[in-house]
Amino acid sequence: MSAPITSRFLMIPREIPKYLATAYSVKYSQIEKNENIFKRSIFKIYRFILLAKEIIFSTISFTSSLEINKNIKRLQKDFDEKNKNLKDISSKDICVYLVGSVDNPGGAILGNHLYYYHHYKIKNFEKYFDVAAKVIKNNKDITSFLEEIKSKYPTRNIKVMDIVCHGCNDRMFLGDSFEYKISDVKNDEFKAMSQDGAIILDACSTAQETSSQLSIARQIAKKNPFLRIFAPKYPLFFSKPLINKTTKRIENVVHGFAIFKAFTCETFRYEREIDESAIPDTGKRSRG
């Protein structure tokens, strides 16, 4: 079912101010703490211009391996600090936010503009959940981090997991030397999550299917019954989960180069485990 047109129309133009505000806070909040109001006011417009130039340049230029490695370290440092703030006494459910550690020169996962994008996504989740985050290299990192969070906070429910990485219809590119393929998906792999939880695959075309090829999104749903899997049928570009303010339930995820109208992610959910062999690996695909 498509998300409401009110959520899809002009999605990116409506989100850009929030993204820029988050990016500004990440880049300058510590600096501004040591400045008086007068100095902050004088420099704010100038800093916004510098930030906008940085984001635009990062978006249109190639991202070097040095920049990718720098942003991996920056993100993991930020995530480690954030994870320290989780408390077992909180009444909020938990969202686990994961970022793959491999990127291409387009910088769609680990470019400078994406460094801020991850903080923007986390800030939106934090309106409803406490967030635990990690940069990952393979699927073992996913399950071990879920189990670590569940072990530390046994009374808390992990209701959402968002995985941001490159992908295609039958695999997700989590690290330089690891592709999470359909054949790698295990039964109850994400059992640390609440049964009524949701997994968002923020990875291009991971819901795309043909008559002879299942999507990795469907395979994850089959092997992890009751969990709802949201994944894009087309290239991702920019995504936004639509969260019910009352139930705190993810109802849809919209995505795409949504200057005018966004796509709605496909949704998969099974009541019980489907006992069938995974579709054979058909060789490498280009990264989305």
Q: What is the mean predicted confidence (pLDDT) over 259-286?
A: 69
Q: Per residue in 138-164, pLDDT tens?
A: 999 999 999 999 999 999 999 999 999
Domain boundaries, the chain: 5-12+63-268
User: In the β-sheet with 171-175, what is the strand arrangement from edge to edge?
Assistant: 166-168, 171-175, 178-181
Looking at domain 5-12+63-268, which CATH architecture does it have?
3-Layer(aba) Sandwich (3.40)
pLDDT at 244: 96
Residue 168 has pLDDT above 90, yes or no: yes
Q: d(Cα 55, Cα 75) in Å, to the nearest integer?
A: 17
Q: d(Cα 240, Cα 168) in Å, to the nearest integer?
A: 19
| Radius of gyration of the CA atoms of the chain, in A | 19
pLDDT-derived band at 35 (thresholds 50, 70, 90) equals confident
- 277 CB burial (10 A radius; 0-12, 13-18, 19+): exposed
Total Cβ atoms within 10 A of residue 74: 16
Total Cβ atoms within 10 A of residue 248: 15
Residue 66 has pLDDT above 90, yes or no: yes
Residue type, 70: K
pLDDT-derived band at 280 (thresholds 50, 70, 90) equals very low
CB 129 within 8 A of CB 159: yes
Nearest of 136, 144, 127 to residue 164 by alpha carbon: 136
Which residues partner with 132 through β-bridges? 96
Q: d(Cα 146, Cα 165) in Å, to the nearest integer?
A: 17
Strands 171-175 and 178-181 turn out to be: antiparallel
pLDDT-derived band at 286 (thresholds 50, 70, 90) equals very low
Structure tokens at 72: 């991996």
Strands 130-136 and 166-168 turn out to be: unpaired
Q: What is the mean predicted confidence (pLDDT) over 210-214?
A: 89
